[in-house]
Structure 1
Amino acid sequence: MSNAKLFLLVGGLIAGLCLLILLFVGAIAGIVFYSIEHSAATQAAENFLRHNETLKQDIGEVREFGWFISGQINAQGTDGVAGLRLKAIGTRRSAWTTVRLVYRNGGDWRVVGAWYVNAEGRTVPLLDPYTFESSAPSQEAVYSGTSDASFASDVLQSPEPVLVRFTQVNAGDSAGAFMRLATKYAGRVRFFELYIESNEATRRRYNVSIVPTYILFKDGAEQGRLAGARSEQDLSRLLDRQLQR
């Protein structure tokens, strides 16, 4: 066999192998996207957004949602948490929304945090504040999104301590611990998320280069931070040190 034929044969085998890998990865991604799109959590999020008056006042009646729905759904036994990013298509315009949900004791998925980005680039809460059905149901918890435009009013001017989770759209880290902490510290600490790729000024100001990064603020000043994926216990210790002062 000549070198040219051998080269073509090897090249064909490599190309075929690459094609098989791409098909396999595409199939896995398709299964993941399909399972998220048709999940009970996504249905609960879409139902919430369709009937949210704040969102409808801006983009109009929600007609449908974009085909690409990203996020994570983590369910273990009778409890679960989910974080979803959906494109809501209204009669006037479209908007990207973020919805956080939980379910407990085998019940229905319930929205515990939601926000969207308006035409001016400002993060607008859709459920803020909200009340948890927790051991202290009368206490209000704040779990929402923030941005360059609203960071001062949301975080720096807050009378309560604020824990900010700096992350990215479609980041692989889970927000489950963050949502559970919002329940645990309801009425004592406020919780916000900030997407660094669309809020570059705040990212630079606090020198955030790793996602997730958690920064605790009180009276407009940073009180501590943790970089990288952290357990619920790590974050609790950070908060408890501040609350015990």
Structure 2
Amino acid sequence: MSDQVQQVGDSDFEAQVLKSDTPVLVDFWAPWCGPCKMIGPLVDELAGSYAGKVKVVKLNIDDNQTSPRNYAVRGIPTLILFKDGKPFGTQIGAPGDIKQRLVKLIESGL
């Protein structure tokens, strides 16, 4: 995982995501999830590309179950862009064009 991506949990979700001054891309994932592992390098790449503009965080749904439930995360990977403390856009799954979809999501939130 890139040093541009930080781990968050239920205990610091509000401070790190909802109260952030910049948009935050949250990657809801789990260690056993193959597609989550597959998009991990892409999430790291996006964190580097948008450093200073968008915060990128990962939340392990096995260890933190309140936040995923609060945002109706039913499948992983689910990536939600939060802007001004509210969900702005969501990408569920890892389709072949996920990079383009995530770039479009992030760009629309800037």
Same fold (TM over 0.5): yes
Aligned partners of 2:109 and 2:101: how far apart in 1?
13
Aligned partners of 2:20 and 2:8: how far apart in 1?
13
Match of 1:89 in 2: none
Among candidates 2, 12, 32, match of residue 150 of structure 1: 12
**Structure 2: which 5+ residue stretches go unaligned?**
none
Deviation for aligned residue 1:189: 0.2
Match of 1:204 in 2: 69
Instruction: Flag the structure with higher strand content.
Output: 1
Deviation for aligned residue 1:170: 2.6
Deviation for aligned residue 1:157: 0.5
| Deviation string, structure 1 residues 20-43 (Cα, Å, up to 9, x no partner) | xxxxxxxxxxxxxxxxxxxxxxxx
Aligned partners of 1:232 and 1:192: how far apart in 2?
17
Deviation for aligned residue 1:198: 1.3
Determine helix, strand or coil for the equivalent of 2:44: helix
Aligned partners of 1:240 and 1:202: how far apart in 2?
24
Q: Tell me which of the two structures has the higher relative contact order, counting C-alpha pairs closer than 8 angstroms and 6 or more residues apart.
A: 2
Are residues 1:241 and 2:108 paired?
yes
Aligned partners of 1:153 and 1:239: how far apart in 2?
20
Aligned partners of 1:183 and 1:203: how far apart in 2?
25
Determine helix, strand or coil for the equivalent of 2:34: coil
Aligned partners of 1:214 and 1:152: how far apart in 2?
17
Deviation for aligned residue 1:226: 0.8
Deviation for aligned residue 1:186: 1.0
AA at the equivalent of 1:170: W
Q: State the TM-score, normalizing by the size of structure 1.
A: 0.42
Determine helix, strand or coil for the equivalent of 1:187: coil
Aligned partners of 2:65 and 2:47: how far apart in 1?
25
Aligned partners of 2:81 and 2:24: how far apart in 1?
6
Identity %: 36
Aligned partners of 1:207 and 1:186: how far apart in 2?
27
Q: State the TM-score, normalizing by the size of structure 2.
A: 0.90
Determine helix, strand or coil for the equivalent of 2:27: strand
Match of 1:229 in 2: 94
Determine helix, strand or coil for the equivalent of 1:216: strand
Match of 2:47 in 1: 182
| Deviation string, structure 1 residues 183-241 (Cα, Å, up to 9, x no partner) | 11111000000011111111110010111000000111110101001421110000111
Match of 2:22 in 1: 160
Deviation for aligned residue 1:156: 0.4
Runs of 4+ that moved beyond 6 A: none
- For residues 73-84 of structure 1, the aligned pairs below 5 Å read none
Aligned partners of 2:6 and 2:87: how far apart in 1?
19
**Structure 1: which 5+ residue stretches go unaligned?**
1-99, 101-111, 114-141
